Amino acid sequence: GESVGLHLPTLSVQEGDNSIINCAYSNSASDYFIWYKQESGKGPQFIIDIRSNMDKRQGQRVTVLLNKTVKHLSLQIAATQPGDSAVYFCAENIFGSSNTGKLIFGQGTTLQVKP
């Protein structure tokens, strides 16, 4: 069935350390993955995406890794800052036979940054 899951509901890291947030997906037909950040009281904000023909993509302080063999996605945040504290969602795009697609979200991981 379709499911996107994150391994840990809460991740606590020290300011300045690197953070790694993991996500498992179940649909091998998924071809596009996105990480979103949601701060309290706000809507999700796009962070970075990756297509299924890639293994790695880097942004500013963030890196997304995709392992299609084990259906695993991770978000790495370098030098974590207090402003990174939020809930992080992975989402996968699944295209149906009509090629319209739908975005399935995971349950989210709360990142807490300790000063």
Partner 1 sequence: NAGVTQTPKFQVLKTGQSMTLQCAQDMNHNSMYWYRQDPGMGLRLIYYSASEGTTDKGEVPNGYNVSRLNKREFSLRLESAAPSQTSVYFCASSYRHLMNTEAFFGQGTRLTVV
77/4 Cα distance (integer angstroms): 20
Nearer to partner 1, 24 or 103 (CB): 103
Three-class HEC string of the chain: CCCEEECCCEEEEECCCCEEEEEEECCCCCCEEEEEEECCCCCCEEEEEEECCCCEEECCCEEEEEECCCCEEEEEECCCCHHHCEEEEEEEEECCCCCCCEEEECCCEEEEEEC
Nearer to partner 1, 53 or 69 (CB): 53
Minimum CB separation of residue 108 from partner 1 in Å reads 6
Interface pick for partner 1 out of 43, 69, 97, 115 (rule CB under 8 A): 43
By the rule CB under 8 A, 34 interacts with partner 1: yes
By the rule CB under 8 A, 66 interacts with partner 1: no
CB-based burial label for 35 (10 Å; 0-12, 13-18, 19+)? buried
How many residues of this chain interact with partner 1, rule: CB under 8 A?
Answer: 23
By the rule CB under 8 A, 8 interacts with partner 1: no
Nearer to partner 1, 96 or 115 (CB): 96
Minimum CB separation of residue 80 from partner 1 in Å reads 22
Binding site for partner 1 (CB under 8 A): 4, 9, 32, 34, 41-46, 49, 89, 91, 93, 100-108
